[in-house]
């Protein structure tokens, strides 16, 4: 039985109990939201998942880190290092997007070591296999796709990106639209190529009921991919993107009817002032399904700094209601990330998520900042490090630029405003008796 089916029957699963504890929310509210579909708890029944995570309404904004080999960098040890970096930096979920090497065995090794939910994009494995065996991904069959989805489900994958919204209808809308960057989703690109070459409908759309049956059996959470997501600001929120979202909304309802947990993926490259509208649109069109955004990246011009462009977009998106942020690393648009890039990307996305959680009113979010403010005021450096989102980096930066006076920092030295005021006023703090 899936988490969704259990919730509908009012059965509280151990996973729901764990999430309720982690999040400090009432388990009855959690069950209600899982039942209505506004919260998902990705956990494959075949998996020994150490740390479950809930994603959706009223919960802390979650962060996903993409790892995985490419044809150019195909070293499973490095990917395991990235996994470790991601988890240590606080990622709530990891996706294995490998396209180089023995994909099944790489996934197995990642699954064994990943304490948090693991996601994949099964069409990558199908495309890579068919490409190498038959010379072109256009020779892929629907059975190839379903076979990969089923094997990955049996292997224990907790959530899968399925690009079912790339249909003949949406591709026609894309053609009429005319875009600057066309398609930047790999899954979308594979499917459009296949559809145009074979003059057929998207097999993931045609065989959606079969996919739902597999997902229901193993409780794989479906993440409905946005194959037509905009790849530049100029293409954002266009008719092709919104058309696909309408289709995804219909597929959300069908998934829920089949007892399958489902979330929806979103852009991408979006100007700052269109982000909130994108969130609201998803929540309406997709009946409050959790929204999983990639970025959004708020400017195209900063390759090398896309962890920052996406932290800006991610914070705005999450504060407007996005539930799950896929990190973007500094290497985005330039190459495959290193473990250090992974770490930077996770921290930047966590900053975005936390800044949003404060204004979403998530339990204990603002309290964290309050504790830090008190430690800062008290110039309790050890406590500041303990509370820092990245204690190790905070400690390193301070020690590299140490002050002769351990009570302050080297920016202001003896002219530390907090210290001066404390000595002059004895503090005006609410906690002080003035």
Residues 285-344 that bind a copy of itself (CB under 8 A): 298-305, 307-309, 311-312, 315-316, 319, 330-338
How many angstroms separate the CA atoms of 368 and 24, rounded? 14
The residue count for binding a copy of itself (CB under 8 A) is: 117
Nearer to a copy of itself, 156 or 353 (CB): 353
φ, ψ of residue 161 in degrees (nearest 5)? -85, 120
User: Minimum Å distance from CB 155 to a copy of itself?
Assistant: 22
Question: Residue ranges of the alpha helices (H) in 52-141?
Answer: 76-88, 103-113, 122-134
Least distance CB 320 / a copy of itself (angstroms): 10
Cis? peptide before 148, omega within 30° of 0: no
Contact 306, 328 (CB under 8 A): yes
- Span from 34-42, 43-51, 104-112, 181-189 in contact with a copy of itself (CB under 8 A): 181-189
| Region near a copy of itself per CB under 8 A, out of 25-33, 70-78, 79-87, 110-118 | 70-78
Q: Are 271 and 305 contacting, i.e. CB atoms less than 8 angstroms apart?
A: no
- In whole angstroms, how close is the CB of 315 to a copy of itself at the nearest point? 5
The single residue among 198, 280, 382, 413 that binds a copy of itself, judged by CB under 8 A, is 413
Q: How far is CA 187 from CA 93, 124, 133, 145, 279, in A?
A: 20, 7, 19, 12, 22
Tell me whether residue 38 or residue 331 sits nearer to a copy of itself (CB atom): 331
Give the number of other Cβ atoms within 10 Å of residue 395's Cβ. Answer: 16
In the bound state with a copy of itself, the residue whose beta carbon lies nearer, of 44 and 331, is 331
From 296, 323, 228, select the one nearest 38 (Cα to Cα).
323
> Does residue 209 touch a copy of itself according to CB under 8 A?
no
Which residue number, 9 or 421, has a Cβ lying nearer to a copy of itself? 421
User: Are 387 and 372 a contacting pair, CB within 8 Å?
Assistant: yes
Looking at the Cβ atoms of 254 and 376, the one nearer to a copy of itself is 376
**With binding defined as CB under 8 A, does residue 180 bind a copy of itself?**
yes
Q: Which is nearer to a copy of itself, 45 or 366 (CB)?
A: 366
Q: CA–CA separation, 304 vs 106, rounded Å? A: 28
- Name residues contacting a copy of itself, limited to 228-247 (CB under 8 A): 231-235
In the set 168, 186, 217, 254, which binds a copy of itself (CB under 8 A)?
A: 186
Contacts of residue 378, defined as CB under 8 A and 6 or more positions apart, other chains included, come to none
What is d(CA 351, CA 346) in angstroms, rounded to the nearest whole number? 9
Closer residue to a copy of itself, CB minimum distance, 141 or 193: 193
Query: From residue 22 to residue 41, what is the string marking binding to a copy of itself with x (rule CB under 8 A)?
Result: --------------------
Does residue 120 contact residue 76 with C-beta atoms inside 8 Å? no
With CB under 8 A as the contact rule, which of the stretches 34-42, 150-158, 162-170, 424-432 interacts with a copy of itself? 424-432
In the complex, least distance from residue 50 CB atom to a copy of itself, rounded to whole angstroms:
25
The residues in 101-160 that bind a copy of itself, with binding defined as CB under 8 A, are 124, 127-128
Tokens in use for 382? 């050890």
Q: Report the site for a copy of itself in 341-380 (rule: CB under 8 A).
A: 347-348, 351-352, 354-356, 358-359, 366, 368-370, 372-374, 376-377
Contact call for residue 277 and a copy of itself (CB under 8 A): no
By CB atoms closer than 10 A (0-12, 13-18, 19+), residue 273 is exposed
Residue with tokens 């809308």: 173
412: CB partners within 8 A, 6+ apart: none
Q: Which residue has the tokens 């006076």?
A: 405
């Amino acid at each position: 039985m899936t988490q969704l089916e259990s919730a509908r029957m009012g059965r509280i699963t151990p996973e729901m109990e764990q999430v309720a504890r982690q999040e400090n929310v009432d388990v009855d509210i959690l069950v209600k939201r899982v039942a209505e579909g506004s919260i998902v708890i990705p956990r494959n029944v075949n998996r020994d998942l150490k740390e479950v995570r809930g994603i959706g309404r009223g919960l802390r904004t979650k962060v996903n880190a993409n790892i995985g080999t490419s044809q150019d960098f195909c070293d499973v040890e490095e990917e395991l290092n990235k996994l470790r970096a991601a988890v240590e930096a606080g990622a709530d979920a990891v996706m294995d997007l490998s396209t180089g090497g023995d994909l099944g065995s790489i996934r197995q090794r990642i699954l064994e070591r990943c304490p948090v939910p693991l996601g994949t994009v099964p069409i990558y494995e199908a495309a890579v296999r068919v490409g190498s065996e038959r010379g072109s991904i256009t020779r892929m069959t629907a059975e190839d796709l379903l076979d990969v989805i089923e094997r990955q489900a049996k292997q224990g994958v907790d959530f899968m990106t399925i690009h079912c919204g790339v249909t003949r209808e949406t591709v026609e809308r894309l053609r009429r639209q005319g875009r600057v960057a066309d398609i930047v989703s790999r899954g979308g690109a594979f499917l459009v190529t296949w559809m145009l070459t074979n003059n057929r409908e998207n097999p993931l759309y045609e065989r959606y009921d079969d996919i739902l049956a597999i997902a229901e059996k193993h409780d794989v959470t479906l993440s409905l991919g946005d194959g037509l997501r905009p790849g530049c600001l100029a293409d954002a929120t266009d008719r092709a993107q919104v058309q696909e979202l309408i289709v995804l909304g219909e597929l959300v309802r069908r998934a829920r009817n089949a007892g399958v947990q489902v979330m929806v993926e979103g852009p991408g490259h979006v100007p700052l002032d269109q982000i909130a509208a994108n969130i609201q649109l998803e929540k309406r069109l997709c009946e409050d399904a959790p929204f999983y955004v990639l970025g959004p990246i708020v400017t195209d011009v900063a390759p090398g700094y896309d962890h920052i462009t996406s932290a800006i977009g991610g914070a705005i998106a999450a504060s407007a209601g996005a539930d799950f942020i896929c990190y973007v690393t500094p290497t985005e648009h330039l190459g495959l990330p290193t473990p250090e890039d992974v770490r930077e990307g996770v921290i930047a996305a966590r900053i975005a998520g936390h800044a949003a959680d404060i204004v979403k009113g998530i339990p204990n979010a603002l309290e964290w900042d309050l504790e830090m403010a008190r430690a800062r005021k008290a110039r309790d450096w050890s406590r500041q490090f303990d509370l820092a989102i990245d204690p190790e980096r905070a400690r390193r930066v301070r020690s590299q630029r140490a002050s002769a006076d351990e009570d302050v920092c080297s920016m202001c030295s003896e002219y530390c405003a907090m210290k001066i005021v404390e000595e002059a006023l004895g503090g005006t703090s609410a906690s002080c008796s003035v």
